[in-house]
Amino acid sequence: MVSFQTSFMIAVFLLTISLIVWKPRGINETVPTTLAALLVLLVGIVPLSDIMEIINTVSGASITIISTIIMSIVLESVGFFKWVAYNLVKKAEGSGIKLYFYTLLLCYLTTLFFNNDGSILITTPIIIRIIKLLKLKPNQQLPYLLSGALIATAASAPIAVSNIANLIALKIVGLDLNTYVAMMFIPSMLGILTISFLLFIYYRKDIPKKIPSYSLQYRNWNQEKVLPEHPLSDHSMNGSLNIDWPTFRLCIVLVVLIRASFFTLTPFGIPLEVIAIAGAILLIAVRWFKQGKGSMDVFKKTPWHVLLFAFSMYVLVYGLHNVGISDLIVDMFKESMISDRFNTVMISGLLLTVLSNVLNNLPAVMIGTIAFVEMNLSIEMLQLAYLANILGSDIGALISPMGTLATLIWMFILRKNNINVTWGQYIKVTILVIPVGLFVSLFALYFWTEWLFF
Amino acid sequence: MIISIFFVLAGSIFYTILRPPKNTEKTEPHILYIKESTFVKGVEQNG
């Protein structure tokens, strides 16, 4: 007999997920999540005494991600992304195939240096700008748009710091960043390369062989306004491109250094979020020093609600845990996982793929990680389960748009730009490509870790 | 160490993708102007 609390918790959770996907009147995903979390706290499914533990678990990851988003806002304001659409078309030298691979590279690198949701927010408008500039037909647009979104999202697996879910789970299992990269970089990259290759094979007939090359002319900055704006851009700069070369160069060097310092400074006990905050402050200071701009625009554009969203989502996951959902996972899979590393990798990866595509990967990865901790696995098994967990939630989750917040944001941006990509169109491609990429990365994770670590 | 080298390499590629066209580097502030008629003509010709 299912108790009232269990039915109530599951109903509240499913309703919240439905509202996140449906977005009635375009409401922010934080609204239903926060209301649901308040309800769960009021009913007492999650006692108030757990709040500090939840804050402790999610705060570091959320602050790190917010700081990364702040960095991307600062960089956008110094003109970082304004040229990308034109540069890519120019570098493609009239080849649609070259443009395709440049687009994938851009999406991969943007996630690597920022994070997956930020990467979707930055790169999708750039790709839309490219396909509008080139006036591609609808069947020619989808290869660039969909492949870019899939790679941008999957690219959060190799280094852990590009995804809030990865960071929260990392803290729960007590894995350090450098060990994560050593164990995960090669397997996840093999998965990403497989997906890129399969997407290219799938779309090879739709990708235009030739794209138009165009002539560029330059005018003084106060003349005609011709550049379409990026959504993150500062409208007061509309049309003008004051290229501040020293600032541009300094900023890209700082971005690389800040990213690298995540890995070089955390072994000395410096918390990740402290490095991230310092990096964001440093970039704001550089912009102020070089261009005399304060920080108010950055403050206004920063999506502070991410902090509340992560907290509320974790309250809901804690609620599911408290009514016994994680025990259900433990009972079903503990026996098979506890003794065999291959089983651990496959079960964790596939379980998270299913959970992510049904529930979205943020709660799924949290539920999965809590369940694996409850299984009392040995530390090496727990960490292996966590890594496979991440492959399921970052790569396997891409089968349906429901799987990740990034793909939901992507669909929302497309709709706002009058580009209709249906769930059917999306799944028709991903169902062929993603499972292969997932299995490649799961097998690679097993063999790579067996070879080097166990 | 290896990860730092990787980031420097990745950063260099990112830089080449992001950097504005070369011929704007040593000039005054500019605006990129696309010669719309030529461009549209090119699109029509190339499909």
Q: What is the pLDDT of residue B20?
A: 66
Per-residue three-class SS string for A311-336: HHHHHHHHHHHHCCHHHHHHHHHHHH
Q: Which of A214-228, A351-365, A395-409, B10-24 has the lowest mean pLDDT?
A: A214-228
DSSP strand pairing (A216-220 vs B30-34): antiparallel
Neighbouring CB atoms inside 10 A of A300's CB total 9
Q: A232 by DSSP, 3-state: which?
A: coil
- The predicted-structure confidence for A266-281, as pLDDT tens digits, reads as follows 889 899 899 999 999 9
A83, B14: Cβ pair inside 8 Å? no
- Helix A138-154, helix A177-203: angle, nearest 10: 160
Measuring CA to CA, which residue among A75, A58, A45, A125 is closest to residue A297? A75
C-beta atoms of A88 and B17 within 8 A: yes
| pLDDT above 70 (res A210) | yes
Q: Is the pLDDT of residue A441 over 90?
A: yes
Higher-confidence residue of A394 and A219: namely A394
Please check the confidence at residue A40 and state whether its pLDDT lies above 90. yes
Tell me: pLDDT of A125 over 50. Answer: yes
**Cβ within 8 Å, pair A112-B10:** yes
DSSP assignment of A75-105? HHHTTSSTTHHHHHHHHHTTBHHHHHHHHHH
Which segment, A6-10, A112-116, A192-196, A284-288, is predicted with the most confidence on average?
A192-196
* Other residues' Cβ atoms within 10 Å of the Cβ of residue B20: 19
The residue to which tokens 């490649």 are assigned = A440
Q: Which of A299-303, A347-351, A367-371: highest mean pLDDT? A: A347-351
Chain A residues whose beta carbon lies within 8 Å of the beta carbon of residue B19: 83, 87, 248
Bigger pLDDT: A235 vs A55: A55
Residue A95, C-beta contacts closer than 8 angstroms, at least 6 positions apart:
A209, A210, A211
Structure confidence at residue B23 (pLDDT): 52
Shortest CA gap B41–chain A (Å): 9
Interface test mutation site (partner A, options B8, B13, B17, B41, max chain A beta carbons within 10 A) = B17
Task: Name which of A162, A237, A263, A265 to mutate to probe chain B: the one with the most chain B Cβ atoms within 10 A of its Cβ.
Answer: A263
DSSP state at residue A228: P
Give the pLDDT of residue A434.
Answer: 96
Tell me the pLDDT band of A143, cut-offs 50, 70 and 90: very high
- Amino acid identity of residue A359, one-letter, is L
Residue B31 to residue A226, Cβ atoms within 8 A: yes
- What residues are paired with A95 via a beta bridge? A210
Q: Which of A6, A118, A18, A102 is nearest to A65 (CA)?
A: A118
8 Å CB contact of A243 and B29: yes
Phi/psi at B33 (5° precision) = -120, 125
- Residues with Cβ within 8 Å of A15's Cβ and at least 6 positions away in sequence, in order, are A32, A36
Residue A310: pLDDT band with limits 50, 70, 90: confident
Greatest alpha-carbon span in chain A = 75
Residues of A in contact with B17 (CB under 8 A): 84, 87-88, 91, 102, 105-106, 109
Q: In this model, does residue A151 exceed pLDDT 50?
A: yes
Q: What are A316-350's pLDDT values in tens digits?
A: 988 998 998 888 889 988 888 888 899 999 999 99
User: Nearest Cβ partner of B13 from A105, A242, A243?
Assistant: A105
Q: What is the mean pLDDT of residues A142-155?
A: 95
Identify the three-state secondary structure at position A388: helix
Q: Examine the predicted complex and report whether its ipTM is higher than 0.95.
A: no
pTM of the model: 0.83
Contact at CB, A218 and B33, closer than 8 angstroms = yes
Of A38-42, A78-82, A260-264, A271-275, which gets the smallest average pLDDT?
A78-82
| Number of domain units in chain B | 1
Given a cut of 80, whether residue B30 has pLDDT beyond it is: no
| Residues paired with residue B31 on neighbouring β-strands, in sequence order | A219
Domain that holds residue B23: 2-46
Are A384 and A341 in contact by the 8 Å Cβ rule? The answer is yes
B11 contacts in chain A (CB < 8 Å): 113, 252-253, 255-256, 259
**Residues of chain B contacting A, Cβ within 8 Å:** 3-4, 7-8, 10-11, 13-15, 17-21, 23-25, 27-35, 38-40, 42-43, 45-47
Instruction: Output Rg (C-alpha) for chain B, integer angstroms.
Output: 18
Look over chain A and give the mean of its residue pLDDT values, rounded to a whole number.
86
End-to-end CA distance of chain A: 43
**Yes or no, beta carbons of B24 and A212 under 8 Å apart:** no
Is residue A160 within 8 Å of residue A167, measured between CB atoms?
yes
CA-based nearest residue in chain B for residue A126: B18
By mean pLDDT, which of A338-347, A377-386, B28-37 is the weakest? B28-37
Place of tokens 């993603």: A434
| pLDDT score for B21 | 61
> Is residue A365 pLDDT above 60, yes or no?
yes
Are B28 and A113 in contact (CB < 8 Å)? no
Residue type for position A1: M
pLDDT digits (tens, 9 = 90+) for A84-123: 888 888 888 889 999 999 999 999 999 999 888 889 988 9
Question: In chain B, which residues have their Cβ closer than 8 Å to the Cβ of A106?
Answer: 17
Residues of A in contact with B39 (CB under 8 A): 133, 212, 214-215
